[in-house]
Amino acid sequence: MPVYSNPGIIPQYSFGRMDTLSKSQWRRMSMEVVFTDTMKYLTIGWFTSQWNYPPESYYSSGYYIDNVVLYPCSAQTYVADAGSDQLACVGDSVTFSTPYRNNEYRYAWIKGNGDTLSTTTSLTVEAAENTEYYLSQWDFKYEETWDTVRVFIEGCPELELPNVFTPNGDNQNDLWLPLTKEVIEIDISIFSRWGESVFQYSGAADTFAGWDGSDAPEGIYFVVVKARSDQGRTIEEKTTLTLLR
């Protein structure tokens, strides 16, 4: 590139004076390089005097320059590490991360369809289904390694609360019972319209036989249910419940 003045950079290795450079006639230049333990960057290339690109002449000082980062042969490299697979429920926010190495590593998190989702050390996604993600990592030697990580949708508690029941002894809909999936423990609180507690249960979900309404009068009640799965996930639902006799 042409410049107005010397840039003040002194390369360790230079190719000295070149009176003419040609856009069409390339020439190969080489020299022996001796590395030392104090060199971090090798700067090569240097041209001075006038550059002639007939029919035009450019500035009387110019330079080509390039840097190469030097590493000891014993410098450690790391393979890609996307972390562990994760369990999630639909809608959960899931974050994957790879250990930080240094600024000379490059990353790309890629979805199964080929889309690049992130070029940082971490990736955050919203779980929707069982999905694979791939981590591409380039080290300072420009060698690429890969790792795969997965989101599994499982162990998610589900809770459905019926909003009406008829405890009249006809053996049809006589008990109020939550519908659950992947739930091992459940807490149930039922209140009257005036906030009075009319029923409480806390314990194993599979041993809860249901609420029979006891001596509660017809009317609307408020229900709060908290459930826990064997994975430690919790879910809470609230609803109104109509008791009809």
Which tens digit of pLDDT belongs to each residue from 209-229? 999 998 899 999 999 999 998
Q: Whole-model pTM? A: 0.57
Q: By mean pLDDT, which of 60-74, 96-110, 164-178, 188-202 is the weakest? A: 60-74
At 59, the pLDDT band (50, 70, 90 cuts) reads very low
- What backbone phi and psi angles, to 5 degrees, belong to 16? 60, -145
Average pLDDT over residues 26-34: 74
Q: Could you give the percent of the chain with pLDDT greater than 70? A: 78
Report angle CA 171, 173, 179 to the nearest 5 degrees. Answer: 130
Instruction: Decide: helix, strand or coil at residue 105.
Output: coil
**Which domains, and CATH codes, for the chain?**
1-70 (no CATH), 86-153 (2.60.40.10), 158-243 (2.60.40.1220)
At 60, the pLDDT band (50, 70, 90 cuts) reads very low
Residues 118-169: tens digit of each pLDDT: 999 999 999 999 999 999 999 988 899 999 999 998 878 889 999 999 998 8
Strands 219-228 and 144-153: unpaired
Stronger pLDDT, 6 or 224, i.e. the higher one: 224
Q: What is the pLDDT of residue 3?
A: 46
Q: Does residue 217 have a cis peptide bond before it, meaning omega lies within 30 degrees of 0?
A: no
Stronger pLDDT, 222 or 24, i.e. the higher one: 222
Rounded Cα gap, residues 199 and 95, in angstroms: 40
